[in-house]
A and B are shown apart, each in its own frame.
Chain A
Amino acid sequence: MNQLDYVVLIATILAIPLYGLWRTRGRETLGHYIKGDESIRWATIGLSVLATQAGPITFLSMPGQAYESGIGFVQNYFGQPFALITVCAVFVPIFQRLKVYTAYEYLGQRFDQKTRLLGAFLFLIQRGLAAGITIYAPAIILSALLGWRLNLTIWLAGGLVVAYTAFGGTKIVSITQRYQILIIFVGMALAFIIAVHRLPAGLSFGRALTVAGGMGKLQAVDFSLDPDRRYTFWSGIFGGFFLALSYFGADQSQVQRYLAGGSLTASRFGLLFNAVVKVPMQFLILLLGAMVFLFYQFEEPPIYFNRPAYDRAIALGHGAELNELQAEFDDVFARKRDLLSLSGVSSASRQEILQLDAKARELRDRAKAVLERAGASPKSKDSDYVFITFVLQHLPHGVVGLLIAVILCATMSATAATLNALGSTSAVDFYRPLIRPNAPDHHYVVATELLTIAWGLVAIGVASYASLVENLIETGNILGSIFYGSILGLFLVAFFLRSVRGSAVFFAALLAQCLVLILFWTLSISYLWYNLIGCAAVLVFSLALQRTIFAKSSPA
């Protein structure tokens, strides 16, 4: 990075929050602080919902995912449109009509105070930890590749978000997210155009797609029923639906986004906007990864993208081993490039090209094994370094600064939404009913600001110690899956099992959460299943408890 990059980076990440602060200046009521005001339109809500979900991992990991495994990952999002429409039809009218500040407030009205607190508590644990991971994940990658100090990166990114989120509440989060996501779109579009432009002369975009497809990177839809296939249309529709319903229906960081503004029509249009835009957006990000893959078929890639980890292994005495692998990798790359330059992926050359590609992957795995033996293994997957390496080494100055700003904008927008939700939930669901029930409105605004700052410090603290966590990026998803099922179960019981009362659902959710935690520590199934298990357990246990132990409290 040069001075131009730093100017673009600093100007971008500071200008948006400063504009947001200017737009939200002045004293507010608690309602405005938590739900924004009527100036928040559906387009802002739609972009805000999109920005909340599209964290830094989306832009760092997705292109790398396509580089490694192709664009089939897009199928994981196929359940989202159905989930978003379900949320529009069932969840939003209830939340809007009751004029709740948080989703858990509804649980209090439908059941009782203890059930509301349980739902809010599960959310706070899960999101409080996940917020730290959201800050740490890009910080570890950027600090490794740019030589920035890790703690400084965490404090700069985290501190800025905490400051403006605490000051401006939901309105500033929505406004800043609108511009942050627009910067992200511009940055990713530029990266896509440059990646295509940097392909060899004579390789048109259409022919490039044919080559990438021939190498197995462009299978977007797979209708196979084979359970061993990792990403299929069916797993995306069913698994994706359930995960998305939990996320959009029961996670306050999303609920607060679409309740902003207070209009049912704006909330619904914002969500429907996501139903039609989210999947194509993920497709294009993955296609960018496929273009980066293609670029590296003609420009030699490093055998291991996380260069600092690679250099550490050399310093620890594994240089000879790695040099040998590198020489073999160079040879495989040259043979593959020559074949592709000569004939693309023709029927005659396809088999040989695929064999060479498999060989290159095997050499990369062997290099990774050397790094692990050397004790230089990083906390994140090497594929997370693919896109950022491409950006740093092959994009022009200025654009590099913009793309680093994209990563930080994504970090800030996702973290701001989370902190905003954590502060609001702590104030509305815990502080107001349990500690100061009848204070003036302004008192609660200040309390929410202070609680947002406190959660920001927790997130920064978690980020500072996240290096103790193995397999960092998976951790956020695992945390979500462990707690989301029980939280969603509470809401589904509230909506659809009218006979179930507060005590039955409360103990059912506690039992379900214990069951999920026991299964998590004893089984080795995919973590996505815990969403389904937790939710189903709440439904079954609550019905069983209501008809047995709590039968006397059933309505007449």
Chain B
Amino acid sequence: MKGTDLQSEPDGDSAPLFGSWPKAYCVALGIFAFEIVLFYAFTVVFS
């Protein structure tokens, strides 16, 4: 069994709304980055 062969995307599998899974991951990371910016702004304003 070659484990890494299994990591390729299944045929025809795409992320609804985003087009592809890498794009969906980038959107999730973008939202997380925005959260960090908000937390940092919160720290600066209130500390």
Interface residues of A (CB under 8 A from B): 74, 78, 81-82, 84-85, 88-90, 93-94, 96-98, 109-110, 209-210, 212-214, 216, 218-222, 233, 264-265, 268, 272, 275-276, 279-280, 283, 494-496, 498
Residues in B neighbouring A110, C-beta threshold 8 A: 1, 3
Contact indicator A88/B3 (Cβ below 8 Å)? no
In the complex, 11 of the A-B residue pairs with CB atoms within 8 angstroms, ordered by the A residue number, are A82-B29, A84-B28, A93-B9, A212-B46, A213-B47, A219-B43, A220-B39, A265-B13, A275-B32, A496-B4, A498-B3
A94 touches B3 (CB 8 A): yes
Q: Out of B16, B28, B46, which one reaches A276, CB within 8 Å? A: B28
B28 touches A81 (CB 8 A): yes
Quick one: CB contact mask for B2-25 with A, threshold 8 Å, 1 for yes? Answer: 111011111001011000010011
In the complex with contacts A90-B7, A209-B46, A213-B47, A272-B40 CB distance below 8 A: no
Given contacts A85-B28, A88-B25, A276-B31, contact A218 B10 (CB under 8 A): no
User: What's the nearest-Cβ distance from chain A to residue B47, in Å?
Assistant: 5
Closest to A74 in B: B39
**Are the CB atoms of B28 and A275 closer together than 8 Å?**
yes
Taking the closest CB of chain B, its distance from the CB of A223, in whole angstroms, is 8
> Are B35 and A85 touching (Cβ within 8 A)?
no
Residues of B in contact with A, size category:
20 to 34
Chain B interface, >50% SS class = helix
For A495, give the chain B residue with the smallest CB separation: B3
Q: Within the complex, which residue of A84, A88, A275 is in contact with B21, where a contact is CB–CB below 8 Å?
A: A88
**Which 3 residue pairs of A and B lie closest in terms of their CB atoms, listed nearest first?**
A213-B46, A220-B39, A81-B32
Residues of A within 8 A of B8 (CB): 93
Check if B3 sits within 8 Å of A221, measured CB to CB: no
CA distance A265 to B31 in the complex (A): 20
Bound form: Cα–Cα A220–B43 in Å: 6
Count chain B CB atoms within 10 A of each CB in A93, A110, A233, A283 and give the residue with the most: A93
Contacts of B15 in A (CB 8 A): 265, 268
Q: Is the CB of B35 within 8 A of A279?
A: yes
User: Shortest beta-carbon distance, A95 to chain B, in Å?
Assistant: 9
| Residues on B with beta carbons closer than 8 Å to the beta carbon of A81 | 28-29, 32
CA gap between A213 and B3 in the complex, in Å = 50
- How many angstroms between the C-alpha atoms of A491 and B44 in the bound complex? 41
- Specify which chain A residues have a CB less than 8 angstroms from the CB of B47 in the assembled complex: 213-214, 216, 218-219
A221:B43 contact, CB within 8 angstroms: yes
A-chain residues with CB within 8 Å of residue B16 when the two chains form the complex: 265
Q: Chain B residues near A213 (CB, 8 Å)?
A: 45-47
- Beyond the given A93-B7, A93-B9, A109-B1, could you list 12 further A-B residue pairs with CB under 8 A, ordered by the A residue number? A85-B25, A85-B29, A88-B25, A89-B21, A97-B6, A209-B46, A212-B46, A219-B43, A268-B21, A272-B25, A279-B32, A498-B4
Assembly CA distance A280 to B42 (angstroms): 13
Taking a contact as CB atoms under 8 Å apart, the answer to whether B35 and A280 are in contact is: yes
Contacts of B10 in A (CB 8 A): 93, 96-97, 264
Given the interface pairs A81-B32, A89-B21, A89-B25, the reply to whether A283 lies near B39 with Cβ below 8 Å is yes
A81 to B24, CA, bound (A): 13
In the bound assembly, the distance between CA atoms of A216 and B47 in angstroms comes to: 6
Closest chain B residue, CB of each to CB of A209: B46
The CA of A538 and the CA of B32, in the complex, are separated in Å by 31
Query: Which residues of the other chain, A, contact B45 by a CB distance below 8 angstroms?
Result: 213
Return chain B residues, CB-CB under 8 Å to A93: 6-10
Q: How far is the CB of A546 from chain B (nearest CB, A)?
A: 15
CB distance from A476 to the nearest CB of B (A): 26
Instruction: List chain B residues, Cβ under 8 A from A272.
Output: 24-25, 28
Q: How far apart are A137's CB and chain B's nearest CB, in angstroms?
A: 28
